Structure 1
Amino acid sequence: MSRWGLSGEAAGWLGALWGKSAGKAGGTANLLISHMLDTAAVAEVMWEEYLPPVTRRRLDVIAGGRGRGRLLFVWLCGVHDLGKATPAFQFMDAAGAAAVRAAGLRWNEYTLAAGKKWRHDRAGGRLLRRLLAGAGWSEEQTAWVWPLVAGHHGTIPTVGDLAPPKKNEEFQGRGAAWQEAQAALLEVFSREVGFGGECLLAEVQPCEVPPRAVQLQLSGFVVMADWIASNEQHFHGVADLAQVSMEGARRRSRAAWSALQLRGGWGQLEFSGPEFFQDRFGDGPRSSQQMVLDAVYRMGGPGLVIIEAPMGEGKTKAALAAAEVLAARSGADGVFLGMPTQATADPMFTQVRSWLGKIDERLAGQVALLHGKRIFNKEWRALLDGADGFGAQDCYGSVGEDEYGMTWSFGEDESEPQRRGPSEWFLGRRRGLLSPFAVGTVDQLLQAATRTKHVMLRMAGLVGKVVILDEVHAADVYMSQFLLEGLRWLGQAGVPVLLLSATLPPGQRRDLVAAYLAGAQSAETLPEIELPQPGGYPNVTTAWVGEDGPQLLVDSTDPWREDLKVKVRVLDEPVVDQRSEDPSGPTAEAVAEFLQDQLVDGGCALVIRNTVDRAQRTFEALCAKFGDQEVHLLHGRLHAGHRADRTAAVLEALGRRDDGRPRPQRMVVVATQLAEQSFDVDADLLVTDLAPIDLLLQRIGRLHRHDGNPRPSKLTHPTVVVTGLRRAGGGVPWLLRASEGIYGRYPLLRTAAEVIAADGGGWSIPGQVPQLVARVYGTDRIVPSEWAEEESTARKLWNENRSKRREAAAPYLLVRAGEHGQPTLEGLHYGGQGVLRDGQMEALVRDGDPSVEVLLVRRAGEGYRAMTGRALGPNGETAAELLDDVLTGTVRLPAKLTAAVEQHALGPLPGWRDHPWLRYGRALELDERDEARLGGCRLRYDDRLGLVVTGRP
């Protein structure tokens, strides 16, 4: 013990204070100093093999010099459990408490047993404040450091929350012995990690206060280091102080890191030569892609890049190439790419893996796919099949999660072969963004902007990456609040961000830029900016903060394809009862008759309906005209197997083809909004329900998408036929009520005005896209004078609804109004959300009732059958070879049935309760007619139509 210079009494204290009980440390208690050093040693490995170069450089500046950042980072991670050196924690394990009392550290048993608990994370914040102040730390440095300790269990309290129950010092430890033991623990720990000198703690003091976004990133890394060091498989207890050392902790941490197969990203990416675009993608850049690269090269620092270009222009390739440039310049160590839906994330996962493989083939296997249905992605499953398959969390959330966020472990034996996919550790709940490369839904970023438990893990996963978000125009006003909040934090952290869209309304573009710049300047309010409007299309907008303040550049170029002259027609709804909620029947017949005439010589048509019910009825009407073989149906209420098979069949038939295979002679695809984004099909004719202009133009992007396809003479000119409205002479048109419920009456009225004005003529696409979007989302009157009063009423309701939805999001945003200028994380989680069940987080950021997925099973005599027809056990028992058959039956119920699912307590079949992947599934049992009752509704699964829901809950 002489190496620490401790008195016998102090050595006795450190040899008794425990950090992990025997039950949580592999059968032998782990001393507190041992666990703190374990965590510090994990932090050393993280520094060397995981932290982004930009974070290491930033920490060196914060700590006051090259090499000091590593010491500070290691110290911050290891000191997290200082609060366990209190009676409030030490009395909680009988064996440990006896040893501590025997060493001379005592407490009033009755007070601790009878009073409220004092959490050790908050106790650590309180102790650290006292000890650092005593060592001469400045208040501003102490103020940002203690929240990292006080918040390491997921929520960051206010300074007032640090006090023990009833401010009773018995919880903290009365008398000199406790204070001396706490000081000795901190001193020994600090010396072991590498600090020295007479004024030991004063030497630890940082030189700069980092931006709050960087503080949150560091908070996430503290949690990450603690969770790894809390894995009892790799960190068995050490109860003998003589065996405790930093070198021993280093050996354990290196072994654990290797066994968990954790790794960082591409490190410091080198600048690529001028030919790198061709090397990555096989072709040189188009003019719009070169425009983006030129704009990024001109930026004076990390910032925001908004790329607006037509469908099929190559925005994604431009963004990936720009991400390389930005990463090389900033020191970012990976990429997150967020898509609007799970369906659009899957093909992007493939594209990102291909791109990374061209940079370094080892990177292609390190991409995490982050969405709730990734288990259905065959490429993802094949990637993870290299070791022990994939973990339980790949289905219905995490399994067996404890206070450290640990879940069942797979493939962690050192004798296992190297995984071909991301480390299993990264795939646990809340940890996905910590994977250096990730593709998922935009929800991942939106959730990082919520005041929820362990949000610091999400932010730690984003800061240090390049962030790319596609189809950002799809975010509605509620979702946009979280997007803007996220951009503020990313801007403050200096994260390069690329936003992709077909086009943006000028106001939305301005808000996105303002949010990022507000964060970059740590401003309380969004700045008033004069954002130049693009002079053409495609265009790029870049924004960053330079020495002279905010900098903005806007550029544009010509598209790589000539404009399509798209004919616009209105197919008026047949006369229906204005009070009817289901006019889809007569409309379906009208569409069927129209297509029968248009496709008389063949051709491929796409019909997009705004609701599932409407799509199902349209499909039936078309089948009556053309037969089942020529008509295909796609929507969200098909079970997973049917949806995957039909999507693949449609993409095979109407997708891009370079092998000369002929297209179908005649084919009609009926779909919902699934076909609106990232759906690479080429239709000869489009029939679509009215939608806001930007979404309508997205749908038009499926028209004549691929060059060289032969088309029937009737369909040689691209034509969009708009349904869901009926003209009323010169008066206000009738609009489908279901569409109004989805999109709002005001934008539909203004879009209808543009559509009706173009009826019989057309639009030049994409040339007119920015103009059309700006007109519909602008404030100039574009509707006929006869509509003016109706438009004014609709605008008032629209604005009121938008204000309400903004207000509805405010309580859940990461920062409360008026607190963006705060210098530290203190009180970040005050009034925030705690642990949310599966589905609640998605509902939180998407403004809706949490929809529920169920597993359809057929009741068959005394047992069950999967939807594929294969028999399960009497209680639903599912052998490994039957898992895919069961999962095929996954279907998402309408949100209106969520309450009924909870009321009926749908859960796993009895035979699933011990199954690692099905134990959290919700089974919906169908009878011999494939029907079920739920919440007053009749549900029927039809192999042609999908799930048919009738009645009201």
Structure 2
Amino acid sequence: MTAPPISVDDLRHCLSDAARSFWAKSGDDRARETGDEPWLALPQHMLDSYGVARHLWVHWAPFSVRSRISAALEMPDEDAGTVVAWLAGVHDIGKAVLSFQGQLQPRPGFENFLQRLQDAGLPIQMPWVERNGPAVQHALASRVLVRDWLIREGLPSRTGRIADRLSEIVDAHHGAPSREGRRTRADLVIQTYDGAWAATHQELLDFVADLSGIRGVLPRLRERRRKPLNASGQSLITGLVIMADWIASNADHFPLTIDGLAGERAEACMADFELTRPWRATPPGSHDEALDEHLRDRFRWPASHRARPVQRAAAQAAAALRGSGLLIIEAPTGEGKTEAALTAAEILGASCGAGGIMVAAPTMATADGLFRRVLDWARRAGGDEATSLFLAHSKNMLNRDYRDLTPREVGIDEDSTTAQPDGAVIASQWLSGRKKGILANVTVGTVDQVLIMALQAKHSMLRHLGLAGKVIVIDEVHAYDTYMSEYLATALRWLSRYRVPVVLLSATLPVAQKTLLVEAYRSELSHEPLDELSTEYPLITSVSAQGVHETVVPQRSSDLEASLSTIDDGLTALADRLQQETTDGGCVLIICNTVHRAQDVYRYLEDVFPGDVELHHAAFLASERARKETTLREVLGPQARRGDGRPHRRFVVATQVAEQSLDIDVDLLVTDIAPMDLLIQRIGRLHRHERPADDRPRNLQHPQVLIRGIISPETPEFDGGALAVYGEEMLLATLAALQDGPLEHGFTRPDDIAALVHRTYSDAPPIPADWSDAWDAAVRTAHEERDSARKRSGTYRIPPPAAAASLDSLFAYQRESIDTAAGEEKGFAQVRDSDPTVEVIPILAMDGGWYRPLVGGAGTDLNPDLEPPRRVALDLAAATVRLPSRFTRCDPHLEEVLDQLEPLTPRGWQQSTWLKGQLALPLDAQHRITVRGRILAYDAALGLHEVEGDE
């Protein structure tokens, strides 16, 4: 992929005046007022884009991506790179039409843009067919011009053949292909461009053809014998074309010029972008000691530390895959699954040529918890070259570890080009943001970042490109419901098509859900029927073209033997039992299934045990929640001891935020009834760490689990919150499995985990005969809800790769709203089956329309018309909370809330990088506001809550 440099003189002499007269980028009115006329000629932008794409192919694109594109095009790597660079070079040829060239004409001072064309001999009277009707978008014009040039060069012209497929790529360079109904008219418009116009189109296309050497590759395209270039190949190529266009359009680094021409400059300009080379994995050697040494190096373990059985089995399974494949690691909490996954990722990445890794977690909080661990690992796994890292969720700027990666503020100092030392982990300025961040070497984020790969969304090709070049690790995979699992299954099919290695982690994975995921990934590898999967535990399952292999891992010794019992659901009964159990003190975790229920428990217990109760849930300000969880980890973590940091007595009331990825150790667990796998996750907080005997109260030396939320165990009736969240079928199955064992004989970890989960999720859980009517009704309801969820999930999902003939099939709905920051939130909402919610920033409303932050801000009144100071803006941006879903559950309610809060939001926030697009929730002096006729209040103890009665 070498090409001679093109000097300005070469551009002037090898192209006609007509070709050089087309503009691609214009200056702004301010520059024109000073007498300057900076602009960029179309052939210059074509040259820039071609050069950037060539650089991306050689220096940025991972081997795994290049190999998939080469296979899709059926040609060697160098020839495939030529096709990609050529497509980038010609992607804007459609700007050489009057619909585009004349759009600046009405603006004062821009009349000369059309005059240049006329002076160069190009008629500027727009043809009737183009003038009468919607403007032909330049991407669609590019589609027609490129297709026609390829046909003239002898490529097959029938619909669906290679000339059409390649031209569809340039058509989609703005993130989505054109609408099919507009294409016939575009053909008619381009046919009217004859004479000098047609000759100039040919000249510009020949210019890029000569520059790239594409004609030497065209014979390979003519000889294609396999299936046509389909959507998977098109997506990856389009992603690279979009990248090249965005980079070449950056006027800070590819500046406009007085005469529109600058010559060949791509390589020099690319030095200004922090596009790190592909990550090069350095896996451990094959013998046991090499793995032990590797783990000690990567995770700073002591010299005596050796790999645990799960970690050794996972490394061996990854090595046996010899490239791409699916690896599922099922093991209890504390077995080192994260370290096993990262080690497997290095082994898989090295064998398949991946250029990075994506680690996905269920929530922002769990992603933040993983970020520091992955960052420390990346610093030791990145080799000698710089590694780019991105934290992929909407609150990443509030994560100090992420902000501290570079000397500048990520996303703020746009012009910074600070050099980084080799081996550094950096937050690259260009490789950041909601669409480009996924292109960084290492990405940590929420699972939505993977699921949205299966969503019809603008610029999805960039997400496909970013994920196709990585090893994907998805944590807590059991946490996804039917709706999300359908999106995950579709994403796995596409990842398998791209031959992306995927590692799934779970402490408790029902076999039916595992089967769904295995079949999804395997669909691109084999059409043989899948044998029944094992219910052994712990277990490593590997999936490749060679089949499915399962490795049973030796269980560790039992580390928990807990008694389980149910208690009355009343608050008085709860307080009495806690009083009885904590006569000698103790740290108790009480998990409730809803925020409202947790707040009720907190209120009651705080009256009984004043000063000893704290509350944790998602309705606290994000900054307050993070602070509270950090403090909780410190006082209930492994280092704290009774009398030395650990409280004598503490009651921690929490929702599911305490269910996973929170390293705390309590003496007693009280939990609402929940599905079995989630109950086991909750039990993971009980007697979690080894402690001296005197570090636990006498009454709580033996682990106990008390289960609430069961109104009537004889004829099962459950708390309404539990029913709303989990459904009656799973609660009945769980209670039946509990009565069939743990409630009589106790629970032993890890011995009982697999049997309990599989018994609960089997087709025939041990339902007592006198429950049969309730069970049958619950099963019917659950099946109807799951069928409905599957249908809803299919509305905006893309088809599986085998059914995606072209890019068109990935954009049947073309939801334009997903192309905005706020719209992306709606896009993420599409991959979760939940009611719409609104995120707000509570503030204190002051006299005269001024306001104060609810927390921070040093008590200063702020003018709503002005941008707040940076420090205050940061405090505000970190102080978000979501309104209860009952306020926004349906569209009319949502619109009513937005109509109320948007005018009350300080106008100055729109000028702030941190606050633009946010909604305020202005509270009065009592920290209250009326929304949709209901009173909402916020206080430090309860968080956001609805005021009821005389409160």
User: Please, what TM-score do these two structures have when normalized by structure 2?
Assistant: 0.89
1:915 to 904, 912, 915: 912
1:555 partnered with 2:566: no
Instruction: Tell me the residue number matched to 1:578.
Output: none
Q: How does 1:770-789 map to 2 (within 5 A)?
A: 770-789=754-773
Q: Deviations over 1:812-859 (max 9, x none)?
A: 10227xx73344324431223223334312211112233222111112
Pair 1:639–1:191, CA change in 2 (3 A): same
| CA contact 1:88–1:171 (8 Å) conserved in 2 | no
Aligned equivalents of 1:201, 1:179: Cα separation in 2: 22
> Mean Cα displacement is larger for which, 14-23 or 470-479?
14-23
| CA contact 1:609–1:689 (8 Å) conserved in 2 | yes
Instruction: Tell me the residue number matched to 1:851.
Output: 837
1:636 partnered with 2:618: yes
| CA contact 1:463–1:493 (8 Å) conserved in 2 | yes
Instruction: Tell me the residue number matched to 1:106.
Output: 123
1:48 partnered with 2:58: yes
> Mean Cα displacement is larger for which, 474-483 or 361-370?
361-370
| CA contact 2:566–2:706 (8 Å) conserved in 1 | yes
Instruction: Tell me the residue number matched to 1:412.
Output: 416
Aligned equivalents of 1:205, 1:643: Cα separation in 2: 60
Q: Deviations over 1:746-778 (max 9, x none)?
A: 111111222334324312222221111111111
2:786 to 802, 810, 817: 802
Q: Deviations over 1:707-735 (max 9, x none)?
A: 12532222122111110112354xx2110
Q: How does 1:448-467 map to 2 (within 5 A)?
A: 448-467=453-472
| CA contact 2:804–2:810 (8 Å) conserved in 1 | no
Aligned equivalents of 2:746, 2:691: Cα separation in 1: 22
Pair 1:25–1:417, CA change in 2 (3 A): farther
| CA contact 1:211–1:493 (8 Å) conserved in 2 | no
1:706 to 658, 664, 689: 689
| CA contact 1:40–1:75 (8 Å) conserved in 2 | yes
Tell me how far 1:364 sits from its aligned partner.
8.2
Q: How does 1:418-433 map to 2 (within 5 A)?
A: 421-433=426-438
1:941 to 913, 938, 941: 938
Aligned equivalents of 2:311, 2:89: Cα separation in 1: 46
1:343 to 362, 365, 387: 365
Aligned equivalents of 2:488, 2:274: Cα separation in 1: 33
| CA contact 1:88–1:172 (8 Å) conserved in 2 | no
Pair 1:210–1:689, CA change in 2 (3 A): same
State the secondary structure of the residue aligned to 1:288.
helix
Instruction: Tell me the residue number matched to 2:533.
Output: 532
Aligned equivalents of 1:6, 1:143: Cα separation in 2: 30
Instruction: Tell me the residue number matched to 1:931.
Output: 928
Tell me how far 1:164 sits from its aligned partner.
2.5
Alignment root-mean-square deviation, CA: 2.9
> Mean Cα displacement is larger for which, 862-871 or 670-679?
862-871
Instruction: Tell me the residue number matched to 2:827.
Output: 841
> Mean Cα displacement is larger for which, 837-846 or 862-871?
862-871
Length, aligned pairs only: 897
Instruction: Tell me the residue number matched to 2:401.
Output: 379
> Mean Cα displacement is larger for which, 8-17 or 938-947?
8-17
Aligned equivalents of 1:196, 1:213: Cα separation in 2: 24
Q: Deviations over 1:177-235 (max 9, x none)?
A: 333222221111111134466xx855776857666424312211111111111111222
Instruction: Tell me the residue number matched to 1:620.
Output: 603
Instruction: Tell me the residue number matched to 2:108.
Output: none
State the secondary structure of the residue aligned to 2:345.
helix
State the secondary structure of the residue aligned to 2:253.
coil
Instruction: Tell me the residue number matched to 1:86.
Output: 97
State the secondary structure of the residue aligned to 1:261.
coil
State the secondary structure of the residue aligned to 1:64.
coil
Instruction: Tell me the residue number matched to 2:706.
Output: 721
| CA contact 1:123–1:164 (8 Å) conserved in 2 | no
1:650 to 624, 632, 654: 632
Tell me how far 1:48 sits from its aligned partner.
3.0
Pair 1:667–1:929, CA change in 2 (3 A): same
Aligned equivalents of 1:885, 1:11: Cα separation in 2: 57
Pair 1:225–1:538, CA change in 2 (3 A): same
- Structure 1: state its 5+ residue gaps: 393-408, 574-586
1:29 to 39, 58, 73: 39
Instruction: Tell me the residue number matched to 1:864.
Output: 851
Pair 1:728–1:815, CA change in 2 (3 A): closer
Aligned equivalents of 1:365, 1:137: Cα separation in 2: 41
Pair 1:571–1:365, CA change in 2 (3 A): farther
| CA contact 1:72–1:204 (8 Å) conserved in 2 | no
| CA contact 1:301–1:545 (8 Å) conserved in 2 | no
Aligned equivalents of 1:636, 1:416: Cα separation in 2: 38
1:257 partnered with 2:270: yes
User: Aligned partner of 1:356: which letter?
Assistant: A
| CA contact 1:936–1:951 (8 Å) conserved in 2 | no
Q: Deviations over 1:677-726 (max 9, x none)?
A: 11111111110011111111111111111112532222122111110112
Instruction: Tell me the residue number matched to 2:146.
Output: 128
Aligned equivalents of 1:486, 1:329: Cα separation in 2: 22
| CA contact 1:610–1:672 (8 Å) conserved in 2 | yes
State the secondary structure of the residue aligned to 2:545.
strand
| CA contact 2:354–2:470 (8 Å) conserved in 1 | yes
Pair 1:621–1:601, CA change in 2 (3 A): same
| CA contact 2:145–2:190 (8 Å) conserved in 1 | no
Aligned equivalents of 1:191, 1:802: Cα separation in 2: 57
Aligned equivalents of 1:311, 1:6: Cα separation in 2: 64
Aligned equivalents of 2:179, 2:918: Cα separation in 1: 38
> Mean Cα displacement is larger for which, 666-675 or 211-220?
211-220
Instruction: Tell me the residue number matched to 1:148.
Output: 169
Pair 1:499–1:101, CA change in 2 (3 A): same
Aligned equivalents of 2:448, 2:480: Cα separation in 1: 10
| CA contact 2:438–2:463 (8 Å) conserved in 1 | yes
Tell me how far 1:109 sits from its aligned partner.
2.9
| CA contact 1:564–1:718 (8 Å) conserved in 2 | yes
Aligned equivalents of 1:32, 1:173: Cα separation in 2: 21
Aligned equivalents of 2:82, 2:284: Cα separation in 1: 29
User: Aligned partner of 1:843: which letter?
Assistant: A
Instruction: Tell me the residue number matched to 1:583.
Output: none
| CA contact 1:873–1:911 (8 Å) conserved in 2 | no
User: Aligned partner of 2:451: which letter?
Assistant: L
1:766 partnered with 2:738: no
User: Aligned partner of 2:493: which letter?
Assistant: R
User: Aligned partner of 1:875: which letter?
Assistant: P
| CA contact 2:799–2:809 (8 Å) conserved in 1 | no
Tell me how far 1:624 sits from its aligned partner.
1.9
State the secondary structure of the residue aligned to 2:315.
helix
2:449 to 438, 444, 450: 444
State the secondary structure of the residue aligned to 2:136.
coil
Aligned equivalents of 2:313, 2:419: Cα separation in 1: 50
Pair 1:327–1:880, CA change in 2 (3 A): same
2:347 to 325, 331, 341: 325
Tell me how far 1:455 sits from its aligned partner.
0.9
Aligned equivalents of 2:925, 2:7: Cα separation in 1: 78
Instruction: Tell me the residue number matched to 2:3.
Output: none
Tell me how far 1:914 sits from its aligned partner.
2.2
State the secondary structure of the residue aligned to 1:411.
coil
- Structure 2: state its 5+ residue gaps: 1-5, 32-36, 106-111, 889-893
Aligned equivalents of 1:929, 1:362: Cα separation in 2: 57
Q: How does 1:451-530 map to 2 (within 5 A)?
A: 451-520=456-525, 528-530=529-531
Aligned equivalents of 2:761, 2:178: Cα separation in 1: 42
Tell me how far 1:675 sits from its aligned partner.
0.5
| CA contact 1:300–1:544 (8 Å) conserved in 2 | no
Q: Deviations over 1:609-635 (max 9, x none)?
A: 01111111111222222222x222101
